[in-house]
Chain A
Amino acid sequence: MVRATLLGPQRHVTTIGSVASELGWRGPVATITAGWEEREDEDDELVEALGLPAHNLRLFARAESVFAEDPELLAALRERHDRLRALRRLYRQRLRHALDAARELFVSDRRAGNRPITVPVRDHTTDDEIPGVERLEWSDPTILEPAQTDAMRAVTELDRHHLRRVAEVYHAFENNVRPAERRSVRREREAIARELAPCDAVAIAGGHVTVLLNRLRLFGIASLLVRRPVMAWSAGAMALTDHVVLFHDTPPQGKGNPEMFEPGLGLCPDVVALPHASKRLVLDDPVRVSLLARRFAPARCVALDAGSRIDWDGERWHGHSSTMALSRDGEVVPVSTCW
């Protein structure tokens, strides 16, 4: 059982110190800043904000030394990375069409309001209107809602399919490469366990979510977190959940479709962590908000903005009053009303 606190970004609204104090942490706290990559050890501000003795597990640097020592492992990781990237490209291509279809139906619903909205029935081979065939009234719920439900099902099925393919790649990697049994990895895992032993809690910072997740997996951190309370923010929070969802509604290139990326560590269930949601999502677009909430249901899409906080006690979630979640109705509501 893991007890975890997920927080919003810490750069401008720093809450880790007050939260640690409230949780009764005394330290030392093991910190994981691998998401910062080569800046991993520049953690002075973090330690100061935490206000407790801290010990950085240096997972990024450890992984670099493992790769230098074990080129076969590095090559296998690169091959896995290439396969995952290829899968992601395929998934994105299909996702674009599936989401466009769903969005079109939900947008029509919104535009219609109480008015009937009609569209001609077309012959798709010629794109001509079919004479004599009645126009569809999309505001009729008996016609529209099953179509919306099915369109969403197509999206979620595609997400699941992608996750299965990703899981297969990870499974094959574990079977063929057996990273946990490799000498350099085993040595580092033992060292991490020793360094973690005197620590009474773990803090995981954000950063590059893939880099962070890969290091957490490589060194088997999930099993070490079970006995200690954990605090994680931004990418760190994403990594602890069941599924990591990448998102940005208004990127400079592309359509900004949220993507099911890959499984997280699965320590914090039924939540999709959305750090910087107010900046990265168009939260006043009810269609986008609704689609996101419906797509990942029953998991809750939680907006982890600066100052946000949710707590997992091992059995259930507790939301704090200022923390918001995305609702199926397309609204942003206090997360406390969801649990």
Chain B
Amino acid sequence: MEESLKSICYDALVIGAGIAGGEAALNLANTGYKVLLVDKELSVGGKMIMLSKVFPTLDCAACITTPKVSEISRHPNITIFTGSEVSNIRKLSDNEFAAKVTKKPRYVHVEDCTACQLCEKACPTSVRDQYQFGLIGRKAAFIPFSICSPKAAAIDIDNCTLCGACERACPTHCIDFTMETETIELHVKTIIVATGFNLFDPNNMPRYGYGKFKNVITAMQMEREIAPTRPYHTILRPGDGKVPDRIAYVLCVGSRDASVGNPICSQICCMYSIKQAQLLMGALPMADVTIYYINIRSFGKGFEEFYQQAKGMGVNFVKGKIGRISEKENGNLILRYEDINKGKLQEAEHDMVILSTGVLPNKGIDGLFENETLYLDEFSFVGQSDKLASPAKTSIGGVFVAGAATGPMDIPDSILSAGAASSEAISYIIQHA
């Protein structure tokens, strides 16, 4: 079997093509190193490319991510494998790591696909669209999202009925059901882990009714509703399609809460909620927006001013953690909370509730390594061996970490952390040449 494996060599392997992995890859590539950038999703861009706008600049996330993504995709020193996973990493010597990359079949020849969407139209199967966080459906033959890169169709083989309609509809004959999983043996000199984070699953907090009450959604779903590539072209509550006018944000859902196993603060939720509140005030000028919080943590550059701006715009900030949410017959929601400023238990009615879910580690990264141990910290984020003086170093020499894989982080902090990881990786390659 070994003979059938393709073997390839690069200077660096970057695992995860979100904004941190992308930035790290670009830094390496711009200084002349050959990089393999691997992501398990069908597009590069990670979570950032899915966002609406970014705080506190209110730049459109798509508008600032796509140039970066284009730069990454076109860079002569970067090779991208999407829909691929890395495993079995072995350190062979100080300047050589071997790894296995498994490239799952997309069933579409990307170079021939023009993203004409005729396959989408032809496909009879509908499933929930994971890239719109379940708000709408998509086909089994689909373009992941409008600004994805590579911009090409993919076949969701788990849901495909193999009816062949897409194949017949495709004008460039780029759909190919004979594609198979490819396994590639990879040799690199250094590795950057930029595997990002997961969002807390609010199903684990039944008292907020997520999954049961239709008008309780997550902040990531709201990101999609207000993004330029949004699913509805306006803001609707999912229960009945009504345009909401009394919107509530519940902060610290799955953060600062030992009862759900996550005692730490997620660092980004206050700010993204304030940003969404501002965008909602702009999109729905008549709507009331209330943010229920424990502490507002607007600590970064320009953040406090952004928070004050939201207050000035009329966003209502209430200090108090929501105890329970219940649903009325008309789909409205009753929030029960202690209003700390007033020292009273209160109830408030809203017609839509957004849960600002926290940041959790992307578990299992340590399992990628075979003959060395990648230590994780007490919260299961990738451990940092020299936290203050070399934050990008891990327990394995030559393996560095970037972005939210080490803990909650916003975009600029991820960019800085990626800069540090790439700096260490470049130094490592030069020092171990």
Say if A and B assemble together. no
Q: Which A residues have a C-beta under 8 Å from some C-beta of B?
A: none
Q: Which B residues have a C-beta under 8 Å from some C-beta of A?
A: none
